[in-house]
Chains A and B, each alone.
Chain A
Amino acid sequence: MKLERVLSVIGEGDLAVRTRLKKERSAMLKPSSLVLLLLVCMLTIVGCGQAGNGKGNSTGGNATQAPASAEASQTPAAAKPVEITFYYPVNVGGPLTKVIDGMAKTFMDQNPGIKVNPVYTGNYGDNTVKIQAGVQAKQPPDVAVMMSTELFSMLDMNAIIPLDDFIAKDSDIYMADFYPAFMEDTQTEGKTYSLPFQRSTIVMYYNKEMFKAAGLDPEKPPASWEELVSYAKQLNRDGHAGLEIPGNDDSYWMFQMLARQNAADPKQNIMSSDGKKAIFNTPENVEALQFWLDLSHKYKAMPEGVIDWATVPTDFIEGKTAMMMHTSGNLTNVKNNAKFEFGVAFPSGQKQYGSPTGGGNLYIFKDTTPEKQAAAWEFAKFMTAPEQAALFSSSSGYVGVRKSAYETETMKKYTADFPQALVARDQLQFAFKELSTHNHGKVSTAITNQIQAALAGQIDATGALKKAQEEADQALAPFNK
């Protein structure tokens, strides 16, 4: 919108110049026309300035601000609604924007004093970039959905506020109702910084028809690593793979799963809870990574090399692999597109079951007014309330973030038709927080790259984790002073 305006200004300017040219073709250029030219240029500059200002703010926000203030001037006595901007990403595409915009509308109907401007910002990556730009321009959104792993980065950028005061004052939030596995990554050093919203975890999908064809019981998915290997070997036939685990993008997520499964400590994770230490290079973790490599190289049950995150579900749906480890966020996709009966199960355990959580939480930002922050809290609370959580979970395939969501009618109906959706929920007792540290980008890239190098056969498991540990320690050094 802004750009168009600037362009139209330029267009007009050109027109003015052209008409001038015609008129004064015979006469020499007079100072007055020079002044006019300068004026045109000034106009363009002003236009640019406005465009620049608009950038930090949301485009939607600006457009709606004008009529709101016009209304206010007509009825000065009436309470002017508090206006908040809400950024949200959608990683699974399409219709979810409608669901979220609809939820925002319901909220405004119930809370006439608050006006929410939902802004769809693309995928998680784009969303974070836009929020980061907003924070630097001192014009952040008031509330936003962002990866749970962004917690420490946002704290280091001094961008978000703790929610403890709101929680303490609010009698109807029932924090205990949220699944503890989802609350883990909202908290650090005794404070809570976000509310779980769009959450997922890793589950194992398997093709029941291929199980039958291979002489396996389709109601008994592999429960241990040993079984996983023998099943995958048996299933690796007729031109399809036995198992696929994606290895690019955030491969540390899959690594976390294997590492926890192989750990004797029920609380094991690959980083410290204050986000200041990475714990990559341990004998147990080396075994876990070695197991991942062995699935391809030793047992020949999985394709070699780095398997692409996005093609794994396609492979599963197309019958190119009998089992896959993937996000529960793909439930709806698989349900709608698989032309065979499929099962969903906990990823097989070794010493214990385990699966990291993932996804986005609702954060509230600094650099706005207390009124807006209070309104943002009301909105965040509404979005995570049982009814809304149930609606969002059933229309997206994400896990419902609180226990009571599963007792609503919406959810009962959804899970009755589609019991596979309950697996991710039941697994939450074995779930734990995704890798999240200070300097998260560098730390997660360090481990992801080394896992990829190991999968590609460039380095062995021991060397990979040693190198990842060194790089992560270096990235975290400034935070351990």
Chain B
Amino acid sequence: MVTGWSEKLRRNGFGWGLVLPALVFLALFTYYPMLKSAVLSLYEKNLATSEPVFVGLGNYANLLKDSVFLKVFSNNIWFAVGTVPTSLLLAFVMALFADKAIKGRGLARLSFFYPNMIPMIAVANIWLFLYTPHFGLFARLAAWITQQPVNLLGSPDTVMGALMIMMVWKEAGYFMIFYLAGMQQIPKDLYEAAAVNGIGALTVIRKITIPLTMPTTLFVAVVAITNAFKLVDHLWIMTKGGPNNASNLLLYYIYDTTFNFYDQGMAAAMTVVMIALLLIISSLQFFGWDRKIHYE
């Protein structure tokens, strides 16, 4: 028994030792706060209660009654629906182009990728200007189309669309990089065989490129969906979630609930909901779909 134990330790100890620093950090700054949030979500802790009161699942029940929470949740779903497929499609097309373009390939890749190099806060400031009524480029474009002054960020009907376009612009280049890598791994002889048989370019894309980049698509889709929930920096700069919560997203509402409303119990309950949601989405990658996807 003793020899078995030391044998195991000898084999695995060094490996564990190497993992340990990372694990310690993850535990301290990720797992422990998650656990703490889960515990806190069972308490009522806000300005009206000087000492936290245990309420069981009361906070979660209140969430279902909180119209703003339901609003931001559905906003977030629409935000994901609006940004993910579009940016994936755009990334795919851009990658096709960047993969094939004969001259200036490097330049094409760089120009597609560059929005991703700008910090989100800077992007938000630039786009805030583009959307500013009277002198913003897009505001003028919209005013020219509708023949009347348009306040893109100030109207509940247009604010989400405006933010989605910005997000697609920011994200597509990043996803293109993954597609580009995926496409370059496809064996060239497949394309040569197709060319010999005189098969059209569209069919080649449909029958070869798309199926063989499916693993990339799955990975990128997961990243994109989680990003739709995680990236809210622009809200601070552009709308503060307004007008009347029309552009509010889940993470921003959690922040507001914690630091503006000081309602920590409710904020913790929302955090738990969000973590659960993100875990489910990312577990699709690891457990579910990837087995059904064709690998080379």
Contact = CB atoms under 8 A, between A and B. Distances in A.
Interface of A: 10, 13, 17, 28-29, 33-34, 37-38, 40-41, 44-45, 48, 125, 128-129, 132, 153, 156-158, 247-249, 303-308, 311, 314-315, 318, 320, 438-439, 441-442, 445, 448-450, 452-453, 455-456, 458, 478-479
**Which applies to chain B's interface (DSSP): helix, strand, loop or mixed?**
loop
Nearest to B245: A449
B262 A132 contact: yes
A304 B261 contact: no
A458 B246 CA distance: 11
Contacts of A158: 50
Nearest to A38: B17
Contacts of B111: none
Given A315-B134, A439-B48, A48 B154 contact: no
B10 interface: yes
A311 B151 CA distance: 12
5 contacts: A17-B17, A129-B259, A308-B154, A449-B244, A456-B243
A444 to B, nearest CB: 9
A458 B153 contact: no
B23 to A, nearest CB: 9
Contact of B48 (A156, A311, A318): A156
Given A45-B28, A308-B153, 12 more contacts: A44-B24, A44-B25, A128-B259, A249-B240, A303-B149, A303-B151, A305-B154, A305-B243, A306-B242, A314-B132, A455-B154, A478-B49
B21 A157 contact: no
Interface in B243-296: 243-246, 256, 259-263
Nearest to A249: B240
A128 B259 CA distance: 8
A398 B152 CA distance: 32
A307 to B, nearest CB: 6
A164 B155 CA distance: 48
B18 to A, nearest CB: 7
Contact of B17 (A41, A305, A442): A41
B155 A157 contact: no
B50 A458 contact: no
B243 A248 contact: yes
Interface in B133-182: 133-135, 149, 151, 153-156
Contacts of A153: 47, 262
A247 B14 contact: no
A478 B48 contact: yes
A48 B261 contact: no
Contacts of A307: 133, 151, 154
B20 A306 contact: no
A457 to B, nearest CB: 8
A441 B21 contact: no
Contacts of B50: 156, 158
Nearest to B28: A48
Contacts of B9: 34
B211 interface: no
A158 B47 CA distance: 10
Given A17-B18, A34-B13, A48-B28, A439 B261 contact: yes
A448 B24 CA distance: 44
- The 7 residue pairs across chains A and B that have the minimum distance between CB atoms: A478-B48, A305-B154, A305-B151, A37-B17, A306-B154, A452-B243, A441-B260
A438 B135 contact: no
Contacts of A439: 46-48, 261
A314 B132 CA distance: 10
Contacts of B243: 247-248, 305-306, 449, 452-453, 455-456
B202 to A, nearest CB: 44
B239 interface: yes
Contacts of A34: 9, 13-14, 17
A449 to B, nearest CB: 5
Contacts of A308: 132, 153-154
A40 B49 CA distance: 43
Contacts of A303: 133, 149, 151
Given A34-B13, A157-B47, A320-B135, A305 B155 contact: yes
A249 B240 CA distance: 7
B21 to A, nearest CB: 5
B20 A37 contact: yes
A248 B243 CA distance: 7
A432 B69 CA distance: 34
B133 A248 contact: no
B245 A44 contact: no
B130 to A, nearest CB: 12
Contact of B21 (A40, A448, A452, A479): A40
Contact of A311 (B18, B24, B132): B132
A349 B9 CA distance: 82
Contacts of B242: 248, 306, 448-449, 452
Nearest to B157: A456
A247 B154 contact: yes
Given A41-B20, A41-B21, A458 B156 contact: yes
A48 B244 contact: no
A475 B143 CA distance: 40
A304 B149 CA distance: 8
A60 to B, nearest CB: 22
Nearest to B255: A129
A441 B151 contact: no
A455 B243 CA distance: 9
A156 B262 CA distance: 10
Contacts of A311: 132-133
Given A41-B24, A449-B245, A29 B14 contact: yes
A247 to B, nearest CB: 7
A458 B156 CA distance: 9
Contacts of A320: 134-135
A38 to B, nearest CB: 7
A306 B135 contact: no
A306 B246 CA distance: 12
Contacts of B49: 478
A151 B20 CA distance: 46
A157 B262 contact: yes
Contacts of B133: 303, 307, 311
B1 to A, nearest CB: 18
